[in-house]
Amino acid sequence: MIRNGCHQQRELLTSAGPIEERAPRVNDRRIAPETGERQWLSWVILPQWCRNAVCLWADRIHVNIRVEEHRLCLLVIGVRADGCKEPIALADGCREPAESWADLLRDCKHHGMCAPVLAVGDGALGFLGALREVFPQAREQRCRFHKSVNALDALPKSVHLRAKRHLAEIWNAEDLDHAHTAVKAFEAAYGVEHLKAVAKNLVDLDGLRALNDFPAEHWQQLCTANPTESTRATVRHRTKVTKGPGSRAAVLAMAFKVIKVAQVRRSAVNAPHLVAFVRAGARFERGVLVEREQVPAA
């Protein structure tokens, strides 16, 4: 309970006569169960399954807070051992997301979270830099959709259809050698007139094909950041309806409640039985599990 000025003065009629009264204006900021803030505060502690999450998707949600400066909601979604996708962490950040991402990942590590096998992001340098700092052993996979959009933005619309076919040949190549061959074909087709598009397409090709070392059944979910994109759209739609939350605590509580409701519609990864193999360190080549050679007994 905090003071927030006073109401207008008014006159009350009592048995002793009229009395002038000016009541203070009070803002009630106590935590109520129905607001979601109590659940949010308890949700900061990581559940047991989050400590061994196999794969992570990370994204930032831009929200406008009326009474504070511009903030970001940092969202991390992980895969459980049974293949279901659930949120792991939700926190607020500032305009410099690199430090905010690093603080969030350090907090997860402090609560016992192990390094994920693979982390998927939209290619923003803030999250990737923080991931290399906190979990250097984790693999990186960039969102192919964002990469394609960046490359197409540097090309005229008249060649978009043909360029999409070239990009599909790069993404769907059998191995890294075939991918480099497809990149050279893309460079030969557009390198003379559109150097910017070729430069964007050549950056971090290995990070775009990290999923080749994982089960082929999981490629559809690992190639893009769609799990976080759909959740971000749900939160953004709600903040647009409410015309922006009033405070930092309100935006975190509201985002938490909306994400939990959207969790019901989130599908699990394909072939969930292969998640345990990935966590155990099994080797996959071109999406196929490689069996270990049996050593004959002496």
What is the DSSP annotation of 60-72?
A: EEEE--SSS--EE
Per residue in 49-76, pLDDT tens? 677 888 888 888 777 665 555 667 788 8
Q: Which of 129-138, 177-186, 217-226 has the highest mean pLDDT?
A: 129-138
User: pLDDT over 90 for what percent of the chain?
Assistant: 1
Closest listed residue to residue 72, CA positions, set 91, 86, 87: 91
Check residue 169 and give its pLDDT: 86
- Give mean pLDDT, residues 282-287: 81
Residue 96 reports pLDDT greater than 70: no
Give SS3 for 123.
Answer: coil
**Residue 47 backbone phi and psi in degrees, to 5:** -70, 170
As a whole number of angstroms, the distance between CA 63 and CA 73 comes to 7
Reading the block at residue 103, the tokens are: 């603080």
CA atoms within 13 A on the CB side of 52: 13
Reading the block at residue 274, the tokens are: 């292969």
CB 279: neighbour CB atoms within 10 A? Answer: 17
Q: Are 167 and 186 in contact (CB under 8 A)?
A: yes
**Higher model confidence: residue 4 or residue 163?**
163
For helices 125-134 and 97-110, give the axis angle rounded to 10 degrees.
30
**Higher model confidence: residue 236 or residue 149?**
149
Q: Which of 5-14, 48-57, 129-138, 224-233 has the highest mean pLDDT?
A: 129-138
Reading the block at residue 65, the tokens are: 């807070």
Per residue in 186-226, pLDDT tens? 888 887 777 777 776 666 677 777 888 888 888 888 888 88
